[in-house]
Chains A and B, each alone.
Chain A
Amino acid sequence: MVTKKKLMDSMMKERVFDIINCLFLIIVMVVTLYPFLNVLAISLNESTDTVRGGIYVWPREFTLNNYLEIMKYDNLVTGFINSVLRTVIGTILGVFAQAMVAFTLSRADFQGRKFVSTFLVLTMYFSGGLIPGYMLIRDLGLMNSFWVYILPGLVSAFNIIIIRSFMDGLPFSLQESAKMDGANDFTIFYRIILPLCKPVLATIALFVAVGQWNSWFDTYLFNSMNENLTTLQYELMKILDNTSMGGNVDANQMRPNEQQQNQVSPESIKMAITMVTVIPIMLVYPFVQRYFIQGMTLGAVKQ
Chain B
Amino acid sequence: MANTSGKAITEMVIIKEKEKRRSFWKVFKRQKTLYMMSLPFVVWVFIFNYLPVWGWTMAFQNFRPGKSFFEQEWVGLEHFITLFTDERFFMALRNTLAMSLMGLVVGFTVPILFAVLINEVRHSFFKRTVQTVTYLPHFVSWVVVAGIVTKMLSIDGGIVNDLLLRLGVIEKPFQFMAQETWFWGIVTVSDLWKEMGWNAIIFLAAIAGLDPQLYEAAKVDGAGRLRRIWHVTLPGIRPTILVVLILNIGHLVSIGFEKQMLLGNSLVLDYSEVLDLYALNYGIGLGQFSYGTAIGIFNSVVSIILLFLANGIFKRFSNQSVM
Contacts and interface: CB of A to CB of B under 8 A. Distances in A.
Given A10-B224, A214-B140, A29 B35 contact: no
Given A131-B284, A242-B150, A104 B261 contact: no
Interface of A: 10, 13-14, 17-18, 21-22, 24-25, 28-29, 31-36, 38-39, 53-56, 97, 100-101, 103-105, 107, 109-112, 115-116, 119-120, 123, 126-136, 140, 151-152, 154-155, 157, 184-186, 189, 210, 213-217, 221, 233, 236-237, 240, 242-249, 251, 254-255, 267, 270-271, 274, 277-278, 281-282, 285-286, 289, 292-293, 296-297, 300, 303
B34 A244 contact: no
B144 A105 contact: no
Nearest to B33: A185
B148 A136 contact: no
A293 B201 contact: yes
A129 B120 contact: no
Contacts of A105: 38
Interface stretch (B3-11, B41-49, B98-106): B41-49
Given A131-B58, A244-B264, A247-B269, A25 B121 contact: yes
Interface-central residue, A105, A131, A213, A236, by most chain B CB under 10 Å: A131
Contacts of B150: 240, 242
Label chain A's interface by main secondary structure. helix
29 contacts: A10-B224, A25-B121, A28-B134, A29-B129, A31-B193, A33-B133, A54-B157, A101-B41, A111-B28, A112-B34, A120-B41, A123-B45, A129-B299, A130-B292, A131-B58, A131-B284, A132-B52, A132-B296, A134-B284, A151-B48, A155-B41, A233-B143, A237-B262, A240-B143, A243-B262, A270-B147, A277-B143, A286-B132, A297-B205
A34 B37 contact: no
B111 to A, nearest CB: 12
Contacts of B280: 130, 245
B147 A119 contact: no
B112 interface: no
B45 A133 contact: no
B279 A131 contact: yes
Interface string B128-169: 011011111101111110111011100011010000000000
B202 interface: yes
Nearest to B27: A111
Interface of B: 24, 27-28, 31, 33-39, 41-42, 44-56, 58, 65, 114, 117-118, 120-122, 126, 129-130, 132-137, 139-144, 146-148, 150-152, 156-157, 159, 177, 193, 196-198, 201-202, 205, 222, 224-226, 243, 247, 258, 261-266, 269, 272-273, 276-277, 279-281, 283-286, 289, 292-293, 296-297, 299-300, 304, 322
Nearest to A102: B38
B124 to A, nearest CB: 13
